[in-house]
Structure 1
Amino acid sequence: MTRSNFMTVATVVAAVFGLAFLVAPSQLVALYGVTLTPQSEVIGRIAGSVILGFAIVFWGARDANPADALKAAMTGGLVANALDTLILLHATITGLLNGLGWLQVLINGALAVGFWYFTFGKGRTI
């Protein structure tokens, strides 16, 4: 198996688990005999966004082109932080998180904007 093929397999595995954690964290971990509370589902969804970000990095780095790998890492950071912002916003608005949740919304939102700006905006260096 080549490195490129391995990275493709890693991409598929990360994408499947990342999406499963994002969409249905309780159902996924129930397969392993674990029960989540509504609050711990938020953490499961955040884990899903990070795993999905890794899928993007693995896909972009599969051919070892440094520029593509950097763009993939930046795009993975954008996707993970943008999804985290939405997850945390929903969790804070619905009362699953206390008022400190707003700080995390701001932090992850600012990081998402930064990743977007330096990947696709005027500050683009890639």
Structure 2
Amino acid sequence: MTRSNFMMLATIVAAVFGLAFLVAPSQLVALYGVTLTPATEVIGRIAGSVILGFAIVFWGAREGNAADALKAVMMAGLIANGLDALILLHATVTGLLNGLGWLQVLINGALAIGFWYFAYGKGKTA
């Protein structure tokens, strides 16, 4: 197996588990005998966004090109932090998190904006 093929396999595995954690965290972990509460589903969804970010990085790094890998890292940061901001916004608005949840919404939202700016905005360097 080549490195490129391995990275494609890693991309598929990470994408499947990342999306499963994002969409149905309770159902996924129930396969392993674990029960989540609504509050811990938030953590499962955040884990899903991070795993999905890894899928993006693996895909971008599959050919060993530094420029493509950097683009993938920037996209992964944008997607993961953007999803986290939305997940945390929902959790805070619905009362699953206390008022400190707003701080995390702002932090992840600001990071997402930063990744967007340096990947696609005026801060784009290459």
TM-score under structure 2 length normalisation:
0.99
Query: Secondary structure of 2:35's partner?
Result: coil
- The ranges of structure 1 where at least 4 consecutive aligned residues each deviate by more than 4 angstroms after the TM superposition are none
1:75 aligned residue: 75
Query: What corresponds to 2:40 in structure 1?
Result: 40
Tell me the amino acid that sits aligned with residue 87 of structure 1.
Answer: I
Deviations 1:3-60 (A, max 9, x none): 0000000000000000000000000000000000000000000000000000000000
CA distance in 1, matches of 2:28, 2:106: 29
Q: Distance in 2 between matches of 1:28 and 1:125?
A: 40
Partner SS, residue 123 of structure 2: coil
Q: Give the corresponding residue for 2:95.
A: 95
The letter for the 2-side match of 1:93 is V
The equivalent of 2:12 in structure 1 is: 12
Q: What is the CA distance between 1:125 and its match in structure 2?
A: 1.4
Matched residue of 1:35: which SS?
Answer: coil
Instruction: Name the counterpart of 2:110.
Output: 110
Alignment-derived partner of residue 62 in structure 1: 62
Identical-residue share of aligned pairs (%):
84
Give the distance between the partners of 1:93 and 1:125, measured in 2 at CA: 37
Partner of 2:51: 51
Q: What residue is the counterpart of 2:120 in the other structure?
A: 120
Distance between the aligned counterparts of 1:121 and 1:10, measured in 2?
A: 30
What is the alpha-carbon distance in structure 2 between the residues aligned to residue 55 and residue 76 of structure 1? 8
Matched AA of 2:102 = W
RMSD: 0.4
In the aligned structure 1, how far is the partner of 2:73 from the partner of 2:4? 17
Q: Unpaired runs of 5+ in structure 2?
A: none
Deviations 1:65-103 (A, max 9, x none): 000000001100100000000000000000000000000
Gaps of 5+ in 1: none
